[in-house]
């Protein structure tokens, strides 16, 4: 396949790979390699990006370094799980539409199968004490993971702004954090509001949501949804299509609905769900399947996952050949300059309700140890959560107090 010129600013004239009739990889190869990455992809987006770079750029040469870096930059502009969108985009580049579907599914399904199986273990029946303890221990560390996830995003975001914009940046971070801490159910509206405020600040307020492809109907959906599968679909849609600023921002988007509003899970079970999303391979958005399982069993888990990942497929299949235009769209960037800092604040603010969900003194000790390991000693998230889970399992086996 002839690689498109990355300096061509008229992407509407570029043909998708399948239109050109060329494909540098068979669909079998895409299925095998993307499934391999979905199976071994522990560690979140940094690990996923490194694995796809090694496969597509360094080992196979399907994409140039410049094309791959451009793909990362553009998927970072899109709402939803960035590493999943990168996986789908790479599949599209090397195998057309079929490659996008097969590659995306290969990347998503291994971790999804694992997390649904673990959901059944943690959320149904009467699991043994060591299982409950492991969940309580790993869940105790989740608030520290939230602080670490938000903290790693703060500095790069701050360095991208200057002058008077920094005052607005601080306001957006505070707004996102406050919304998560006190009104979690409505945090998505705060993210959208911050984006539109920044958009209006830079240009006269003659624009509407349609100017950047965001419409007011999600607000109507939020108000109209009253429960049942409709509520589950709306929650999953927020996770997949309205989450800005990194994978962990899905936590505040889900927590209020899952625990406080619809009572699908207890606070302790939600902590388990977040921990499972972190220690299983693939995208952290898999966490939505645990919430879906709690709401409606295996069918609910599959429904929630399908709704959460569908926007990522849509963004790539509809707009991949227009990525150059998206990167240069000043309106999109202005919106994200407001929504992005608010999302970082939401991630940091989520540590408050996550910590409030703890109920046993030993869990607070685990939280303190996890914060030390992640924030000061710079240990990895997966290893920290596994260690916290082991501590909890020991407490459970020893007959120690476990959350009810």
Give Cα separations from 8 to 62, 163, 241, 324 (angstroms). 19, 32, 28, 8
Which is more confidently placed, 218 or 327? 327
- The pLDDT assigned to 333 comes to 80
Question: What integer is the mean pLDDT of 292-301?
Answer: 95
Closest CA to 393 of 145, 116, 114, 138: 138
Residue bearing the bigger pLDDT, 103 or 157: 103
Give the per-residue pLDDT at 9: 38
pLDDT, mean of residues 115-128:
86
pLDDT tops 90 at residue 244: no
Q: Report the b/e string of 72-109 with b at 16+ CB within 10 A.
A: bebbbbbbbbbbbbbbbbbbbbbbbbebbbbbbbbbbb
Query: What is the per-residue pLDDT for 374?
Result: 92
User: pLDDT at position 260, please?
Assistant: 85
The pLDDT confidence band at residue 184, using thresholds 50, 70 and 90, is low
Maximal C-alpha separation, the chain: 67
Question: Residue 353 is encoded by which pair of tokens?
Answer: 């309700």
pLDDT for the residue 204: 57
- The pLDDT tens digits for 1-51 are 434 343 333 433 334 444 333 456 899 999 999 999 999 887 778 778 889
What is the pTM (predicted TM-score) of this model?
0.76
The share of the chain scoring above pLDDT 90, in percent, equals 38
């Amino acid at each position: 396949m002839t690689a498109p010129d990355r300096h061509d600013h008229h992407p509407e004239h570029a043909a998708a790979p399948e239109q050109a009739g060329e494909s540098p990889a068979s669909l079998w190869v895409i299925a095998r390699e993307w499934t391999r990455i979905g199976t071994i992809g522990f560690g979140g987006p940094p690990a996923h990006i490194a694995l796809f770079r090694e496969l597509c750029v360094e080992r196979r040469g399907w994409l140039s370094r410049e094309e791959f870096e451009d793909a990362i930059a553009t998927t970072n502009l899109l709402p939803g799980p960035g590493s999943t969108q990168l996986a789908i985009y790479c599949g599209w580049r090397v195998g057309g539409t079929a490659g996008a579907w097969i590659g995306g599914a290969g990347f998503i399904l291994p971790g999804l199968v694992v997390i649904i199986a673990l959901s059944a273990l943690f959320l149904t029946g009467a699991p043994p004490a060591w299982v409950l303890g492991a969940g309580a221990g790993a869940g105790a560390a989740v608030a520290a993971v939230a602080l670490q996830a938000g903290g790693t995003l703060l500095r790069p975001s701050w360095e991208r702004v200057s002058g008077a914009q920094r005052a607005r940046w601080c306001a957006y971070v505070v707004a996102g954090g406050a919304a998560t801490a006190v009104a979690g159910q409505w945090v998505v509206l705060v993210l959208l509001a911050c984006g539109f405020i920044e958009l209006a600040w830079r240009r006269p307020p003659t624009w509407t949501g349609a100017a950047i492809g965001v419409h007011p109907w999600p607000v109507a959906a939020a108000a109209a949804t009253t429960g049942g599968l409709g509520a589950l679909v709306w929650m999953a849609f927020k996770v997949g299509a309205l989450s800005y600023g990194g994978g962990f921002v899905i936590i505040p988007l889900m927590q209020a609905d899952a625990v406080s509003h619809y009572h699908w899970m207890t606070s302790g079970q939600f902590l388990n769900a977040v921990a499972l999303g972190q220690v299983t391979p693939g995208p952290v958005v898999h966490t939505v399947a645990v919430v879906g399982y709690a709401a409606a069993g295996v069918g609910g888990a599959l429904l929630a996952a399908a709704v959460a990942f569908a926007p990522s497929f849509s963004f790539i299949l509809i707009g991949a050949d227009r990525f150059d235009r998206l990167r240069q769209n000043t309106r999109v960037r202005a919106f994200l300059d407001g929504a992005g800092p608010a999302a970082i604040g939401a991630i940091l603010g989520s540590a408050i309700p996550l910590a409030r969900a703890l109920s046993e003194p030993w869990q607070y000790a685990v939280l303190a140890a996890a914060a030390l390991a992640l924030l000061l000693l710079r240990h990895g998230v997966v290893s920290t959560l596994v260690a916290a889970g082991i501590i909890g399992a020991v407490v459970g086996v020893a007959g120690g107090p476990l959350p009810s």
